[in-house]
Structure 1
């Protein structure tokens, strides 16, 4: 069973973060922090086909389950990410059941799908691979929300990942406070959680800072991200610089 699914089935949410940096070394360090899963972002981050393998290898010694957010609903990209060692894929901008079926089919070998056999790393039997993989389409459009029931019910879809900013934009809310999730997106998330749980599927989303964790968990999400490698790097540097600046402000070294 996929470790994320196992964690949720045990009664606890799975907590993860985004990997934006194309560094295997950074991924190795980040993977040692204890997140349940890490998402390599090949849509908006620095993850490309030139560096994805090295980043996945960097996570190889960690207990964090590696997922890849592919750039688009492209079967070739989905299959290749899995062949390189991803335990599942997050597929952006899925708006119809047909699009969901295209994504799900690429994650599983026949007869459950149409994935071509050619694992580069961590080979397993087709049956084991089909059982352990996660296909997580992103609902982030008004059309996707309207087709939610059909998307969730699509065979091979293991859960839904809500993109709150794109969802708010799609619903016409262009003035977004990026420090919080728009109420319209939260309302959509509540519906996603309801439908996913009715079908026995996972429901996940993104926090734009740790302050949103309690709210999302209270709403019933099964898995969520709480930050990114870049954000934590920036925050750590900023914290220490602020400490130095505070000391300098209270200790005038020009005297004496």
Structure 2
């Protein structure tokens, strides 16, 4: 098992926190920069990011040159997308909009080799990245996160969390707040969304699963940590670049920095 992946699993097994960076931008350079900044893991966003399938391998290669483990947020619950990400060498996948226990089971099934699942054999780059014996270890070392993003998912949370083979759940605050309140925001510090976010972390931890969540860093990341989240995204390349540019210009122009429209970029 490569060093970055071994460190990731060791931290999770010890109950420690993993700080994850989020990648929206294509080309691999931001992946390399974020990786060398010191994130424990980096997630390539193929759902709302600008990378696309054609840029997946370049981003994975850039992450491999740094010290982070690489995950992929796939566009949807579509087995070929899940298998392609894992065959390309991702250490794990994050799947959006998992609303039922049946969908969670389908997610796990697509990521496990027979007889435990239905993943087709063909770990093209994964063998280069993780070793020739990858297929023997893949079921045990692949991280599988189901995203909790809707009221329906909350109603079915127990069934989702009780799915055999699931590594953890990952909260998308923007979609979750949109479903609960009609307004998308990354701020889960108050209201109905706050209660839901706290409940998800507690329910996952009670089962020994990994609770994960997206934040842009700062106070919301610290709040997530205080709630028991152990896989915490603390910034995306797009939002960090946007925020830094705005702050520089605001300082030079003598004005307060305007907030980034981070929910729309998630």
TM-score, with length taken from structure 2? 0.86
> How many Å separate the matches in 2 of 1:208 and 1:181?
13
Question: What is the root-mean-square deviation in Å for CA atoms of aligned residues?
Answer: 1.9
Residue 224 of structure 1 deviates from its aligned partner by 0.8
Q: Paired residue for 1:239?
A: 247
Q: Hey, which of these two has a bigger chunk of helix by percent?
A: 2
Secondary structure of the residue that 2:118 maps to in structure 1?
coil
**Aligned position for 1:162:** 171
* Conserved 8 A contact 1:165-1:185: no
5 Å-filtered alignment, 1:135-214, equals: 135-171=144-180, 173-179=181-187, 181-214=189-222
Deviations 1:188-227 (A, max 9, x none): 1222122212221100112244121221111111111111
How far did 1:111 drift?
1.8
Q: Distance in 2 between matches of 1:8 and 1:238?
A: 35
Evaluate the alpha carbon distance shift between residue 12 and residue 28 of structure 1 in structure 2; reply closer, same or farther with a 3 A threshold. Answer: same
Output one character per residue of 1:41-93: Cα deviation in whole Å (capped at 9) or x when no partner: 11111121111111111111111111110000000000000111111000000
Number of the residue aligned with 1:81: 85
Q: Which residue of 1 aligns with 2:108?
A: 104
Give the whole-Å Cα distance in 1 for the aligned partners of 2:126 and 2:153.
34
Deviation at residue 179 of structure 1 after TM alignment: 4.9
Determine the structure 1 residue equivalent to 2:130: none
- State the partner residue of 2:264: none
Q: 1:178 offset after TM fit, Å?
A: 4.5
Counterpart pick for 1:93 among 74, 94, 97: 97
Q: Bigger radius of gyration, 1 or 2?
A: 1
Question: Which deviations, in whole Å up to 9, do the C-alpha atoms of 1:225-246 show, x marking residues without a partner?
Answer: 1111011112222333334334
Determine the C-alpha separation between the residues in 1 that align with 2:251 and 2:152: 48
Query: Do the aligned partners of 1:69 and 1:89 also contact (CA within 8 Å) in 2?
Result: yes
Unaligned ranges ≥5, structure 2:
128-132, 255-266
TM-aligned CA distance change 1:209 to 1:183, over 3 Å: farther
Number of residue pairs matched by the alignment: 246
Give the corresponding residue for 2:139: 130
Give me the TM-score of the superposition, normalised by structure 1: 0.89
- Cα offset for 1:6? 2.1
